[in-house]
Amino acid sequence: MNLRAIKPPHETRTRILDAAEELFMQHGFEATSMRQLTAQAGANLAAVNYHFGSKDALIEAVFRRRLDAMNAARIAELDRMEKDAGARALSPRQIIGAFVGVSLRMIEDSKSGGRNFIRLLGRTYSDPQKPIRALIGQLYAPAMERFKAAFERALPQMPRDELIWRMHFMFGTLAYTLAATDTVQLIAGCKPEDRYDARLLEARLTAFLHAGLLAPLHDSADVKKAA
């Protein structure tokens, strides 16, 4: 009977995913042991292998649970804005907003544990393990294509390869900002209480990314000068 969804909808499964999200974020994948993880989830050591098959499969499940929905939300916001705009092209600022807004709104929701996931995600973009990055890349691919197309339409005069690099830079800035919101204290003794004012952070980040995306094109003189 696959009616498990009615009464306890994978209660243990969910608790394991939540615990994994938090511990993976705090300590990383390798440094989080199954014993530590199942203990935090209030489950038996064997529960992970029973419900997910292996630790690697659990890692994948942690990302699939949230990332599909996140990227679907991004694409939906883009669709909605394009429908509202009718024939007019979207502004770069709107497109950026659709991309970073989803992440930053999730960071505010400390209830459902979305914050843990966002920080975990930011870390994982540059994870040394190739299969993990491959998974992330695969889950991101559809949204990436969609946003690339939107930017190309909004910035028809920008060379294709330049746009790709600027998207790369923007993506990196977002990833790092999400992953290392505590590192900013290293730059300055920043008061930690306003670290998570997501609206202010969104305004700051959007202003930075927007300006970077629309930066004047470097000319070959710059390249020669840098040599």
Binding site for DNA (CB under 7 A): 1, 3-4, 7, 10-12, 30, 32-36, 43-51, 54-56
User: Could you say whether residue 171 binds a second copy (CB under 8 A)?
Assistant: yes
* 103-142 footprint of a second copy as x/- string (CB under 8 A): -------------------xx-xxxxx---x---x--xx-
Q: Does 168 bind a second copy (CB under 8 A)?
A: yes
Output 18-25 pairs: Cβ under 8 A, ≥24 positions apart: 18/113, 20/58, 20/59, 20/62, 21/62, 21/113, 21/116, 21/117, 21/120, 22/113, 22/116, 24/59, 24/62, 24/120, 25/116, 25/117, 25/119, 25/120, 25/123
Residue 153: name its binding partner from a second copy, DNA, none (Cβ under 5 to 8 Å by kind): none
- The reply to whether 80 sits near a second copy by the rule CB under 8 A is no
Residue 45 vs 214, nearer CB to DNA: 45
Residue 43 partner contact from a second copy, DNA, none using kind-dependent CB cut-offs of 5 to 8 Å: DNA
| Least distance to a second copy, CB of residue 126, Å | 4
Q: How far is the CB of 56 from DNA (least distance, A)?
A: 6
d(CA 5, CA 16): 17
Q: Which is nearer to a second copy, 67 or 201 (CB)?
A: 201
Question: Which long-range contacts (C-beta less than 8 Å, at least 24 apart) are formed by 74-81?
Answer: 74/98, 74/99, 74/102, 74/143, 74/146, 74/147, 75/142, 75/143, 75/146, 77/101, 77/102, 78/146, 78/147, 78/150
Task: Using the minimum distance from each CB to a second copy, give the nearer residue, 15 or 210.
Answer: 210
209 lies in the binding site for a second copy (CB under 8 A)? yes
Cα separation, 175 vs 171, in Å, equals: 6
The interface region with a second copy, picked from 3-11, 39-47, 77-85, 157-165 by CB under 8 A, is 157-165
CB 126 within 8 A of CB 197: no
Residue (32 or 181) nearer to DNA, CB: 32
Residues in the chain, overall count = 227
Distance in Å, CB of 31 to DNA, minimum: 8
